[in-house]
Chains A and B, each alone.
Chain A
Amino acid sequence: MDEFNASKPIYLQLADRINRQIVSKELKAGEKLPSVRDMGIKYSVNPNTIQRTYSELEREGILETKRGQGTFVTEQEDRLVQLRDNLKHEQILLFVQVMQEMGYSSLEIISGLKDHLKFDIGDE
């Protein structure tokens, strides 16, 4: 949980974690995040790095800092929907890439997914 991968900046890895927590509703819209220092203690990460993560996510419109109050998850519904979509696409892309590298056809991938999810097309 607390391990970071040295091949990618820690601030981006933390941003990924926060994004996932938002999509999984572990962090809710409008929820306050821990202070930079408390977050640093939690993950054993330099508070300057946490600040960078918060700033980056703020720039992307996912977090909002209210002066004197702290940092919050945005309440902009459309931005959160977009984030949910983006993360889905990222994961699918990764999955499909690996499958294609191993030589699975699109049909095989889809039928495999259907079996796995026990879900028939048109059942929606």
Chain B
Amino acid sequence: MIQMINVSKKYMKQSALKDISLTLPIGKIIGIVGENGCGKSTLLKLIAGLSLPTSGRVTVNGETANRRICKVVSYLSELDSLNYIFTVREALDFQASQFTDFNMAKAEEIMKFMQLEPHMKIKNLSKGNLGRLKIILTLAREVPYILMDEPLSGLDPMVRESIIKGMISYVDLESQTLIMTSHEITEIESILDCFIAIRDGSLLRMADVEELHESEGLGVTDWMKKTYV
């Protein structure tokens, strides 16, 4: 379980998140939505322990989220942090050397599923294949929480679809939770259990996607258009 209690984050005097309290269980696919700069990525970084709250408390499985929380949290950054002289194979080996929970057999399987060639040099990968590789590195770790910051951003529809299908195939909802930020809400809506809407650093709403369909007859995108205006 991930728990945030009255969490606020300031960068210098700039407020990024304001008084967020929420609980996220195992076994869900959760989308964080909101406008650019509203605090989505900050929220993920706090859970990943890569950034610490200015006030309030973030715990993952009861432990305070700091740098050491990466033993139970796999995090995909919006930025590229890959070593460009590596081949795909070497990148997998490197990830395995950093994380003992990295499941190489699973990585190989996802690699096949996404049709990525292991001998390719990272510097020669297309943007789509780079996106696929980052997904493999993040998804092949056997940890309860997988966080992805904009995993679909800037990728073409075919790549996005293969990544979405990869998520459904390889996230084990018996034992894992996937949390991602995305602007491609319409595309990820059908795979989300629930969504967290952030506006100007505050939690606007957290709800079941199907509940929104049922009670308001709206998709997440329509709801956002209606609410954020």
Contacts and interface: CB of A to CB of B under 8 A. Distances in A.
Interaction A to B: yes
Interface in B163-187: 164-165, 168-169, 173
A10 B218 CA distance: 12
Contacts of B210: 9-11, 49, 52
A79 interface: no
Contacts of A114: none
- Size category, A interface: 10 to 19
A76 interface: no
A44 B222 CA distance: 20
B190 A44 contact: yes
Contacts of A43: 190
Contact of A48 (B28, B213, B221): B28
B191 interface: yes
A8 B217 contact: yes
A46 interface: yes
A40 B164 CA distance: 10
A28 to B, nearest CB: 26
A9 B218 CA distance: 9
B156 interface: no
A41 B169 contact: yes
Nearest to A50: B168
Most buried by A among B168, B214, B219: B168
Nearest to B219: A6
Interface of B: 27-29, 161, 164-165, 168-169, 173, 189-193, 210, 213-214, 217-222
Given A45-B168, A48-B27, 14 more contacts: A6-B217, A6-B218, A6-B219, A6-B221, A7-B219, A10-B210, A37-B169, A44-B161, A44-B168, A45-B190, A46-B193, A48-B29, A48-B193, A49-B210
